[in-house]
Structure 1
């Protein structure tokens, strides 16, 4: 009697939100910090609250070039008043005498007794050098109050903030020339696959059958660097178990994360899974998204204090690109202590038709058009990297959902994801 074949039991596809939550649970912020010059801290993550030791501005000052006045002296506009002093920025004037005005410049301290500034366009200098004020000023006009930007003792930047050019200026405004930031994650990057060829090693016309240029390695390294990582490019690992195991073991000794593309499927030539399992542990996930279903997370090493995180991305270039943005990006930000890693989609109008609803959550490559809507790249295949170059974002489409022109969709821009 012929035995009944054993049927393989496949796990259900994991929802993206569940996969992300599980992944982020493993991403404990790195304990390492370092001191960097404020000039060099763009994009770094603040490792401690930044508290101001002074008011900004430090004293009341003029918001305009003009004349500091006493409002009570100008109840009737048009009366010429003598100029008793000149106060440029960086100097300190004396108390303003009654029935006089002070020539004052933007940023200069307001002299005692003055309660308003009249811009120079509303004044007329007379032949005797006195000044006629042509408007009735209101108390406080064109005066920037001490501490109106930052008050002494206030937290101006919070731990976990990713520093921007504006926040560097704010840090400098409270006197910080050095900032304590989280250390850069150390990431080992390599690709697997005997079919991969590096550009420049073989001319296009000499490519052997089945060979492809390794495009993933280039965009993954750039993405990692944009996220503030120190990247070790370990090249292409041959498709055999021993070489893969050796590469993983060496990388885990000196890095926080090992990132690979390819080799996380279930084929006979996919050696990542057994290699990681021999050195640590691995969860191989089938995520309910399109593109980017195969994804792996694990740990390479003997324990939590000795080893590195492992993330394996799919080999198709668009799948690798999209899963990096959706999963690896927030993982790396959390490793650096970033407090807010999610990007919320915005609503936009679809100017296209999508009739092929899928049971998985889809991320469609689109581009904003001049009319304010979204156009769809015609070929949404996971191997067409042109779609990610042409597009400026993704439509996050729910499972089973078709799209008609005029429908409201959820849009995430590459500008935000790649910032």
Structure 2
């Protein structure tokens, strides 16, 4: 894991056609700061997309004081100045003094009170994330003092403002909260810009792209395009994860590599559902703030599909076996880069992105070419006559180095201020 490819820090891992394989096998689980909550008798349930949990066990785990009025069937709770009140059978509730409408009413099931988890957790200060494939809800405490630093810049021109945020797409529990400057930039923005807003990509469009670019159409299979050693490693990994050994036979190495990477990082606890991009997309959707994409699913698929056969094979081998000796990027794994992001170490990020250890083809396709397109989009926002504010979120490896988005904007004459 320490030496795993940095690809997923700069690209979204696209939804796998195998993502639902384990879903039916996994029971609904609740995790608090990386540890699974055990419910001794009554289990959490999912009704119409809303997770309901037994009231007392969850509130005790969240260290919330519980008050229950049997006559009115009203639950009221408080924790460090945060409070809520809700009633069995009613979707009307109070959260920190304000009236809110619940997605589902609290209910009694076999004399056990069930409450909507997201409402309760968020009201008392927790970040909530849902992993569909694992049927897993993750609750993360927001008790860090200053929050994760990240990489943030501000650019202004003609009355327009762009906040550029270097992101990490997959994170472990405990990444939140973000520091106030990032949250304030988001609040000030009229638009949120991301690489690709996958929530707007229809499943049929994704499937079309996979079939068009990720699948062999000439009758050949993966086994015909990679070494026997690599193919055997692929089948061994699939077998170890309970998947048919021929699951990837129809697919090209780049697509296989991304799906295998998804399996590996998922098992290590890294999740896109609580990644910085997705966190801000969720906030934007909730606030009805428009989300715009700088790229498209097609362009990201094309980037990978255009890798040379040699590079695709190297990426796949490096992902399957980090000790193989393949060198495509500077030394340093996801754990190191996540720490770099959390601490906001600009110098380390610049040195990493600018390192001479990159494979030339990989660096050009993954970063340089895409950075130019991203910078052009941002320039159009800054040169507009509309006087609007944007928060633009791209993978952190796109932001610095000689050909990073921030330096490219400076070369165009814009003043780019680190926040």
Settle same-fold status: TM greater than 0.5. no
Higher helix share: 2
TM-score range normalised by the length of the shorter chain? under 0.3
After TM superposition, the score normalised by the length of structure 1 is 0.22
- Bigger Rg, structure 1 or 2: 1
| Structure possessing the higher relative contact order (Cα contacts under 8 Å, 6 or more residues apart) | 2
After TM superposition, the score normalised by the length of structure 2 is 0.22
